[in-house]
Amino acid sequence: MGCLLSTPEVAGGARRRPRNIGEVVVFVPGLRIPRPLDFAQPLGDGLSKSLVERLSALRTRIEVMAGGSTLTDLQQALEDYLPVLLGLVENGNWLKHNLRFCWINQEDDVEETTMSDSWYEVLSVLHLMAVQLLSQANLLLLPNKFTSGYQSTALEDCKRASIDIFLKAAGYLDFAVQKVLPQLPLELRSDLPLDLSEGVLKALCLQALGQGVEIQLGMAIDSIKATLAVKRRLACEMVKYWHQAEEYIKELPVANGWGEKHKLFIQWKHIEAKAIAYYLHGLILEEGNTSAGIAAAALQAAEEYLKESKMACDSFHVTLPSSRNPPPWGASKYLAERIPKDISSKTINWDSQKHEMIKHVAPALPDFVLSLKPDEYQLPSTDPSWNDLHAQNVVPTK
């Protein structure tokens, strides 16, 4: 994904629905785009003309940039808008419900959602900030970065930078769930579009953490200093992140390609994570005093999960908007290369019909405390222009 494709042709125009989004390393949800809003009529009697014009200009800038600007420019536009927007929600501002904020949704049957609560606008902005970071991570990790001519130091820098991006995106989403959603009345929370529901936001946060661990695991695999135990721990942590993400999203009523594609991506990565975790666990069991049968069962489970992950991968990519799987790299490449080669000579020759039994008899994976946490995020300070209004007694106080 990476580029901002699912956008209106012009601000307020008809949506384009891409049928193919190219190679996907990081799943990026369907974009949410703000619809045009006239600030002057509902705010004109309560705010200075300059502040109304500033709010309008900053939001219009986001509308335009989300329609085809660079990710960096869009991020800056969002960061510039948020401090001014916060003046509408803080200190019990009487203007909080004066505006009808409308956004186009991508993962819901209801294509537009309008709410007269400025916290809805804050939630939408934070969601878009997180989504554009995931787009940045996808661009950073696309296969053209991994060509043979690419310097290894630059390659490592890309991987480390992507981890920082994942943690920052997770921080926006975690803050949205913990601090912004509770600001909305329950009746409004129940009317939120699916892509802003608590379950989807939590799943997307955990996805970002899971993909961060996946990058860490790939780097550990490439390092001669990383022990098998370290690799297994990372793989087991990755399983937990994807499991939790799937728990949040699996029961949600997704009804179109974007929502279904998001769910299938999480299912695929969860299965893939189990394949590599069981493989590394089996290797460690082989080295220890565990019976050969238990180690073989773990390795056999890894092989079965690898087969299942390939089918899940295909299901994800054919779901519209269709996508392509980039050439394997990192943990996925390790998984694809090592399991078929190492496991066939070490495992019991199970009947192919006993797929579920193989997974049932596999030993439990070790349970590790999750190490990656979302970056701590706090809303910026309200723009000083609101303080000027209070000083001039333009804004009523309670």
For residue 238, being part of any structural domain is answered with yes
Residues 398 and 300 in one domain: no
For residue 186, being part of any structural domain is answered with yes
Determine contact, residues 218/329, Cβ cutoff 8 Å.
Answer: yes
pLDDT score of 77: 94
| Phi-psi sector, 12: left (phi>0), alpha (psi -120 to 50), beta | left
Residues 54 and 187 in one domain: yes
Residues 171 and 286 in one domain: no
Count of CB atoms situated within 10 Å of the CB of 111: 12
Residue 186: pLDDT above 60? yes
pLDDT tier at 296, thresholds 50, 70, 90: confident
Residue 271: pLDDT above 90? yes
Sign of CA dihedral 178, 179, 180, 181: positive
Residue 149: pLDDT above 60? no
Give dist(CA 110, CA 360) in Å, integer. Answer: 41
For residue 203, being part of any structural domain is answered with no
What is the mean pLDDT of the segment spanning 7-26? Answer: 62
Residues 45 and 149 in one domain: yes
Give dist(CA 380, CA 125) in Å, integer. Answer: 13
Residues 239 and 182 in one domain: no
For residue 359, being part of any structural domain is answered with yes
Q: In the chain, how many domains are there?
A: 2
Residues 242 and 171 in one domain: no
CA distances from 67 to 32, 105, 305, 321 (A): 11, 14, 40, 18
Identity of residue 98: N
Residues 362 and 378 in one domain: no
Give dist(CA 230, CA 333) in Å, integer. Answer: 18
Residue 150: pLDDT above 60? no
What is the mean pLDDT of the segment spanning 243-254? Answer: 88
Residue 330: pLDDT above 80? no
For residue 334, being part of any structural domain is answered with yes
Q: What is the mean pLDDT of the chain?
A: 83
For residue 219, being part of any structural domain is answered with no
Q: Is the pTM of this model over 0.85?
A: yes
42-60 burial code (b ≥16 CB/10 A, e <16): bbeebbbeebbebbbebbb
Residues 356 and 378 in one domain: no
What is the mean pLDDT of the segment spanning 300-320? Answer: 91
Residues 183 and 259 in one domain: no
Residue 293 tokens, joined: 């049968």
Residues 363 and 381 in one domain: no
pLDDT tier at 95, thresholds 50, 70, 90: confident
Burial (CB < 10 A; 0-12, 13-18, 19+), residue 279, is buried
For residue 288, being part of any structural domain is answered with yes
Specify the range with the lowest mean pLDDT, choosing from 53-57, 90-94, 385-389.
Answer: 90-94
Residues 362 and 377 in one domain: no
Residue 290: pLDDT above 90? no
Residue with tokens 């069991």: 285
Residues 358 and 398 in one domain: no
pLDDT tier at 42, thresholds 50, 70, 90: low
pLDDT score of 397: 43
Q: Considering only CA atoms, which of 116, 246, 252 is closest in space to residue 197? A: 252
Whether the bond between 253 and the residue before it is cis, its omega within 30 degrees of 0, is no
What is the mean pLDDT of the segment spanning 278-296? Answer: 84
Give dist(CA 203, CA 249) in Å, integer. Answer: 6
pLDDT score of 3: 32
For residue 218, being part of any structural domain is answered with no
Domain that holds residue 377: 1-196+373-398
Going across the sheet that includes 112-115, the strands are 33-34, 101-104, 112-115
What is the mean pLDDT of the segment spanning 257-283? Answer: 92
Residue 396: pLDDT above 60? no
pLDDT tier at 379, thresholds 50, 70, 90: very high
Long-range contacts, 382-389 (Cβ 8 Å, 24+): 382/83, 382/86, 382/87, 382/90, 383/83, 383/84, 383/86, 383/87, 385/50, 385/51, 385/54, 385/84, 385/87, 386/51, 386/84, 386/87, 386/90, 389/47, 389/48, 389/51
